[in-house]
Amino acid sequence: MNAPNIAIDAMSGELGPEEVLAALAIGYKEIREYPFVTLVGNPDRLKLLMKLHRLPADKIKIHPASEVIEMHEKPTQALKTKKDASLLVAIDLVKQGLANAALSCGNTGALVAAGTLRLRPMDGVDRPALATVMPTRNNHFVMLDQGANPMSDEKNLVHNAILGSNFAQVALKIPKPRVGLLSIGCEEGKGNPTTNAAHECLKKLPDIVNYQGLIEGFDVFQNKVDVVVCDGFVGNILLKTCEGLFKHLKEYAVDEMKKSPIRMLGAFMSMGAFNAMKKQLSPERYSGAPLLGLKGNVFKTHGSAKRLEIMHAVRIASEVVSQEMSQHALIDIKTANERLYPAMQGK
């Protein structure tokens, strides 16, 4: 396939296929080189929505799937009982070479499990990592792992740094992303044994990773690095804490502004500043979170993702495919493994 073809699990999101097809309508209208798409799900419903949104028939195919993995279902059980689930079918299209990437708004655990089991980790990588682009006041940065691998060893963290660096080059358009390893302090030896071991390894890879050393929580939003590396346990807690804090501060500010007419007037006069903040801190532009380190491209968006988030997730997936990110990452992983773990090569 010359142009990227993105297989979309159209049925699993909380807002349903209507939001997915509305996203595609915006994408084909506003983005010049929007990719080909294979919609996976109920054919009758998808064909009706295609006509409703006047989507280009030459850009979209429909692949049937009769089941849906719900958000509350246990991943292992769902994979066994729902063989024709739209999420699984989308991943199988990638495995069969009929699509270049799979995208789903569905059950994260099922997506990680299915992607790992059906596509398998790329050569040299033990476990995949889920990456997220985080917004800040002046820039954006990649953070991984977000929960795919809660129990990481030193080698996993090194691979996360390499994978995250390659993704930042594509998603953030940064030629040599600055990479930092999250710890409880910046001083040598301050972290746990796993972090310290990964730190020593990364210092030996200056030609592969633009490693800036250990960073701590204070540094995450201060534009010191473009890639924040941690294990999935820490990363998932940090991500959800940030999201919860942002929501709390937003609700608190709104409540305080409503307490008097003067405050409401001040809020109205500051609307320009609030809109600028909302635009900069919005996750919409980078909502496609890749599951990095697999022999195939898999992307995840929030279960409640809206049309603009889905539209940009498809765009990012297409860019990752077009720029052959996985192939470049595989070369970097191979070089790093040969240098750091020569005794393990060939086993």
Last residue of a domain, one of 283, 309, 338: 283
Q: Where are the alpha helices (DSSP H) in 204-270?
A: 232-257, 261-269
Same domain, 274 and 149: yes
The total domain count for the chain is 2
Same domain, 308 and 267: no
Q: Which tokens belong to 227?
A: 């890639």
Helix (H, G, I), strand (E, B) or coil at 291: strand
Same domain, 178 and 307: no
Position 347 in a domain: no
Nearest to 39 by CA among 11, 69, 2: 11
N- to C-terminal Cα separation, the chain = 33
Same domain, 157 and 263: yes
Position 80 in a domain: yes
Helix (H, G, I), strand (E, B) or coil at 88: helix
Amino acid at 84: D
Q: Where are the alpha helices (DSSP H) in 54-181?
A: 75-81, 86-95, 108-119, 154-171
Same domain, 172 and 248: yes
Q: Can you tell me the distance from the alpha carbon of 227 to that of 141, in angstroms, rounded to the nearest whole number?
A: 6
Q: Can you tell me the distance from the alpha carbon of 99 to that of 93, in angstroms, rounded to the nearest whole number?
A: 5
Position 67 in a domain: yes
Q: How far is C-alpha 306 from the geometric centre of its chain's CA atoms?
A: 16
Same domain, 309 and 265: no
Pairing relationship of beta strands 129-135 and 140-144 according to DSSP bridges: antiparallel
Q: How far is C-alpha 250 from the geometric centre of its chain's CA atoms?
A: 24
Q: Which tokens belong to 295?
A: 């022999």
* Range(s) of the domain holding residue 101: 1-125+293-323
The structure's pTM equals: 0.89
Same domain, 210 and 253: yes
pLDDT at position 267 = 75
Q: Where are the alpha helices (DSSP H) in 55-122?
A: 75-81, 86-95, 108-119
Contact 136, 221 (CB under 8 A): yes
Position 328 in a domain: no
Helix (H, G, I), strand (E, B) or coil at 180: strand
Position 330 in a domain: no
Position 141 in a domain: yes
Same domain, 239 and 119: no
Last residue of a domain, one of 262, 283, 304: 283
Helix (H, G, I), strand (E, B) or coil at 62: strand
Same domain, 232 and 299: no
Position 34 in a domain: yes
Q: Can you tell me the distance from the alpha carbon of 8 to that of 333, in angstroms, rounded to the nearest whole number?
A: 28
Same domain, 142 and 211: yes
Position 262 in a domain: yes
Q: CB neighbours (10 Å) of residue 322?
A: 14
Last residue of a domain, one of 253, 283, 313: 283
Per-residue pLDDT in tens (0 to 9) along the chain, 347 residues: 467 999 999 999 899 999 999 999 999 999 988 999 999 999 999 999 999 999 999 999 999 999 999 999 999 999 999 999 999 999 999 999 999 999 999 999 999 999 999 999 999 999 999 999 988 887 899 999 988 888 999 999 999 999 999 999 999 999 999 999 999 988 888 889 999 999 999 999 999 999 999 999 999 989 999 999 999 999 999 888 888 887 887 788 888 888 888 888 887 777 777 666 666 566 666 677 999 999 999 999 988 889 999 999 999 999 999 999 999 999 999 999 999 988 666 55
Same domain, 49 and 177: no
Same domain, 94 and 188: no
CATH number at residue 40: 3.40.718.10
Q: Can you tell me the distance from the alpha carbon of 291 to that of 297, in angstroms, rounded to the nearest whole number?
A: 7
- With 0-12 CB in 10 A as exposed, 13-18 as middle and 19+ as buried, what is 206? exposed
